Amino acid sequence: MKQTTDMKFSYSSQFTKRGELSLHAKQLFDQIKGFNTIHSSEYIEQIEVLRTAFDANILLDARAMAERMNTSTLKVIFIVGIGGSSLGTKAIVDALYDNNRNTKIIFLESLHDRSIKQAEEICSTLRSSHEFCINIISKAGATTETIANFSILSGFVEHIDGWRSRVVVTTTKESELAALSKKEGYALLYMPKVISGRYSVFTAVGVFPLFLAGYPVQEILAGAQDAHALLQAPHDPTRRLVEDLVGGLSAGMHIIDFFFFNSELESLGKWARQLYAESLGKTHDKNGKEVHTGITPTVSIGSEDLHSMVQLYYGGPRDRISLLIPPLKGQKHIIPSHAFTALVPGIAGRSTDDVNEAIYTGVVAAFKANQIASVEVLFPSLGGAMVGAFMQWQMQVVAILAEHLNISAFDQPNVEDYKKVTHSLLVQK
């Protein structure tokens, strides 16, 4: 795939002790560097999730399905999935949201009455099957919330002729959901079995609905490819952040806070939260030793959380590393002169970008004055390339850090603990 952007971002850290990577982590780092040269559509090792941004076959299949489902009257895409099946796509949609976009994406994740009613209201306005598409996403195929939501949603559209032809199921070839979908006549897209949901955003899971809704998929993937290319750089941000986190863990820093100064990136923080929580929160290491390791990921949004959390950040325990992503400039709104602007000298006539930049500069200065461990990440702009680069960067960081900790980055065995009880309760008569 030809690269379409020259994504660059800079990285700096302060008061962060850098640690030495284990031999296995260094070897994995070298292995990942060569993923851009692999052209096979077969995924054998779980670590190969880090090459999905280079997979032309994924792109072709997703684009072909999007062209098949696209119509001139398409109004809404329902994404029925939860966790890794939806968080990555939602992060991109929220980051790149455009009020003028003709096709909207509606996410049905938890079984919340408000979201179900919203879907019902939208469906009541639909007159043709060409006005909607339903994308069910479940790797295993038996996700409780997903199956329940689709069962309800299908009832809202079953009065529309041809509605079954507007359903696309994204799952693995081996799942029972795939077999049932064929019987029901639904279209199918497949994701590699070895890829965990939280790493699946650059597979059909994310690429298909983004293509269908008209998002800049090529730009997003190009940003991811650029983040991978930086693995070859002398000051590679992937290695730098892993070393900072290794050093931070040894100093008792078990929290990483994703501090964004654009509210539209909150979902991107929640995607990263799942990535860190499920990949690094483990009871046992690869040798079966009980370790109870992990990093607790949190998400902060500037400047609102400065008015609720910053006292803890500056005055509380030194148990976190903050990842600071400064305000990325957007549409400027000029603050007009008003009787009240005299209460805050200097804001009249300034743009909102000017004020946000001043606030962020003050935040960085305060982190420095209080000697708080932080990492500043500078992107050129808010767009598809930035989001793709951030996601690829973080997936690389987590995979290598897990290898250093001698744990699996790709399983989540304790997630089944609550599911077993849930299923047993539901089957009781």
pTM to 2 decimals?
Answer: 0.94
**Contact (Cβ atoms closer than 8 angstroms) between residue 330 and residue 382:** yes
Q: How much is the pLDDT for 306?
A: 94
Q: How much is the pLDDT for 174?
A: 92
Q: How much is the pLDDT for 2?
A: 39
What number is the average pLDDT over the span 150-173? 97
With vertex at residue 80, the alpha carbon angle to CA 79 and CA 86, rounded to the nearest 5 degrees, is 70
What tens digit of pLDDT does each residue of 109-141 get?
Answer: 999 999 999 999 999 999 999 999 999 999 988
Higher local confidence (pLDDT), 394 or 235: 394
1 has a pLDDT exceeding 70: no
Token pair belonging to 305: 């959380």
pLDDT band for position 344 (cuts 50, 70, 90): very high
79 has a pLDDT exceeding 80: yes
429 has a pLDDT exceeding 60: no
**Contact (Cβ atoms closer than 8 angstroms) between residue 167 and residue 136:** yes
pLDDT band for position 101 (cuts 50, 70, 90): confident
Mean pLDDT lowest among 96-105, 309-318, 352-361: 96-105
What number is the average pLDDT over the span 24-36? 96
100 has a pLDDT exceeding 70: no
Q: How much is the pLDDT for 423?
A: 66
> Alpha-carbon distance 334 to 147, whole Å?
48
Please report the domains of the chain, with CATH numbers, ordered by start residue: 10-27+220-413 (3.40.50.10490), 46-216 (3.40.50.10490)
- Helices then strands, counting H and E runs in the chain, come out as 14, 12
pLDDT band for position 234 (cuts 50, 70, 90): confident
336 has a pLDDT exceeding 90: yes
Q: How much is the pLDDT for 9?
A: 79
Q: How much is the pLDDT for 330?
A: 65
> Alpha-carbon distance 312 to 301, whole Å?
15
